[in-house]
Amino acid sequence: MDIDLDLYRHEIRTSSDPIVRLSAIDVSPESPLRTIVFIHGFGGKAEQWQYQMQKFAMDNRVIAVDMRGHGLSDKPTAGYDMPRIQLDLETVLTQLKVSTPFVLIGHSFGGAIVTEYALNHPENVEKLILIATAGEFKLNPLFKFALNLPASVLRLIGPFTRQWLHAPPHALKPFYLQNLSKWNGWERFAKLQVPTMVIRGHRDIVFDRPSFEKVAKSIPGAEDIDVRASGHMVMLERREAVDRAIASFL
């Protein structure tokens, strides 16, 4: 299918004080077989799921969310800890009247977000898919240094990062300090009770290789798909292979 995804955007208020509105893409046929929810990673955006949404929208309801601080969603200075991110996700699903159980897919740190949701609400998740997700998210020293700069400096350099980051530095800093830098998935993965598939790019060097390779081994009964000739953005770089893996798992 060739769908103009922007025609299917919705604005969802997840907080009133301060006002925070998230943007979500929601496409559905008249009688969907299932609902698939896509969550992007640190610095990502909903449109990174464009190929998967196009592929699966003919038979399924597909939803992709710009998380707080990212894409077309509001970018407050606070509220980036995991409990608040979880509440944002729960609010979006409630306001969009998502039927349960649904399929939940996360990329990179989005995999951490969907893991936490699946642990909190296992009855809501039919199947879980983690793409390029690590057990720990240790940034390279240069990026780590940049995120420790004062907020005033981060706002100045924000316009220069828009080509490769879909969230401004002033939002990424608290997201990193309050959430990404603290999350450790090894014990969390072992507690997952839902059918899970892990997809990873064979040439992914964004984080340490063991942080990717150990994920599937840490999840009871998980499928492990190693996609050759691809890196961290595997769902864009090798979309046909990723689509086939998702379709087979479903």
* pLDDT tens figures, 50-104: 999 999 999 999 999 999 999 999 999 999 999 999 999 999 999 999 999 999 9
Q: State pTM to two decimals.
A: 0.92
Average pLDDT over residues 25-45: 97
For range 133-143, the mean pLDDT:
77
pLDDT tops 60 at residue 164: no
pLDDT at position 127 is 98
Give the Cα separation of 234 and 238 in Å (integer): 5
Read off the pLDDT of each residue in 191-196 and give the average, rounded to a whole number.
Answer: 98
- Going by their DSSP bridges, the two strands 19-27 and 9-16 should be labelled as antiparallel
